[in-house]
Amino acid sequence: MLIATAGSRGDVEPFANLARRAVAEGHDVLLVVPDRSGVDLDGLDVASLGVDFNRMITDQGVSALGAMRSFRSVVRPLMRAVIVETAKVALDYRPDVVVAHPKILSAPLIAEALNIPHVLVETVPAMTPTSAFPAAGTVTRNLGRANRLTYRAAGMAAAMFRSEIDEAARLVAVSRRTVASPVATLMPISPAILARPGDWPDTVHLTGPWLDDRAPGVVDPVVAEFLEGGPYVYVGFGSMAGGDPIERARSVVQAVRDHGTRAILATGLGGLDVPRDLLGPDLLVVRSTDHGRVLPRAVAAVHHGGIGTVQAATRAGTVSVLVPFIADQPFWGARLHAQGLAPAPIPRRALTSKRLTAALADAASHQGGVDSAARTMNQEQGTREALSVIVSLV
């Protein structure tokens, strides 16, 4: 089994959890990943793509404009490595099935060359058309029947990297014009977060999140002591880096203090930069922390709205306050608010202490809906269900 992914931590962690589950059930697995994702890969056979998405984010942030400016010098070489190196690894490994993130644009070519099933993993709903909602990362307003048109955006990626895909096609000796569609699509998303549309084909499987089945590790003593000190808000923007992280930290800290509680601030890859004059016993500043330990006891979770954090918070029974930056994050902000699972999202550029204070005050009114979703999510076996689908295809 070849499992391949590309991106930052949120793109790697579910795939690592799937690989670990497959190994535990006796399957031979090679996991293809970028370097330095921050994900625990112990016990897994790993092949490197030779690229570092976290470094790219740290160097240029997450703005679309920054990506456009560095397209030729940074983005295109990085995606060439993703597309071509995965094909090289697959030719050497000769798997029975390839399970791939949408960024692995060579996955259909690999499947065609080796005559094996290709399983697409849609980490967010952006490629399988539906009239129920627009593609994540496009618009947030429901366009009705026109929602299906927004899914054409996914095809633009293949067009942008046509020469790299052609290079991979030559490498594996197939024509990219003759490759078949995936035999199955897996979405590691809970139906409690996203109801399955009636117009999706039966080959699409909404499994629930892919979680790490291992026992949680030991909590840092400093974090453990803070957790015992009373109510707190968790604040973290993951791999997001953009705008002024110091001013953002000032707004967040002021809002939390106005709300009358403490906060754990996870600085991540640069979403927050807490100046010394803000520090106090009511704040704990860390680079990152274990969501499984911290979120269940938080009174609210302020975050960017990546699907991993959305599901971790909801499964923990903690109301999210979303501050979307880019891509699919506004989609999740709109979906959660529409379902009564979160206050209205606050766009990154519109974040102020006043708006965040109001959202934190509103969070309690959404607790009932989140508690109901959490009960559903804690019954899900997403990783096991996904693996069952994959095994049935081999």
Residue 64 has what pLDDT? 62
Residue 161 has what pLDDT? 93
Of 210, 256, 219, 220, the closest CA to residue 236 belongs to 256
Confidence tier at 68 by pLDDT (50, 70, 90): low
User: Across residues 378-387, what is the average pLDDT?
Assistant: 97
Residue 47 has what pLDDT? 97
Residue 61 has what pLDDT? 64
Both tokens assigned to 382: 């997403």
Q: Which residue has the higher pLDDT, 62 or 35?
A: 35
Lowest pLDDT segment from 148-157, 166-175, 226-235, 293-302: 148-157
For strands 98-100 and 46-48, give the pairing: unpaired
Alpha carbons 229 and 175: distance in angstroms, whole number:
61
Q: For the chain, give the percent of residues with pLDDT over 70.
A: 97
Answering whether pTM is above 0.85, one says yes
User: Across residues 41-62, what is the average pLDDT?
Assistant: 84
Predicted confidence (pLDDT) per residue in 133-181, tens digit:
999 999 999 999 999 999 998 777 778 999 999 999 999 999 887 788 9
Domains of the chain: 2-182 (3.40.50.2000), 221-377 (3.40.50.2000)
- Residues facing residue 47 across a β-bridge: 32
* Secondary structure of residue 239 in the 3-state scheme: coil
Predicted confidence (pLDDT) per residue in 80-116, tens digit:
999 999 999 999 999 999 999 999 999 999 999 999 9
Q: Supply the DSSP string of 190-221, one letter for each residue.
A: -TTTSPPPTTS-TTEEE-------SPP-PPPH
Of 48, 187, 45, 173, the closest CA to residue 128 belongs to 187
Predicted confidence (pLDDT) at residue 315 exceeds the cutoff of 90:
yes
For strands 262-266 and 2-4, give the pairing: unpaired
Dihedral sign from CA coordinates of 335, 341, 343, 347: negative
Residue 65 has what pLDDT? 61
Residue 74 has what pLDDT? 85
Confidence tier at 59 by pLDDT (50, 70, 90): low
Predicted confidence (pLDDT) at residue 18 exceeds the cutoff of 90:
yes
Predicted confidence (pLDDT) per residue in 197-224, tens digit:
999 999 999 999 999 988 777 788 999 9
Predicted confidence (pLDDT) at residue 71 exceeds the cutoff of 80:
no
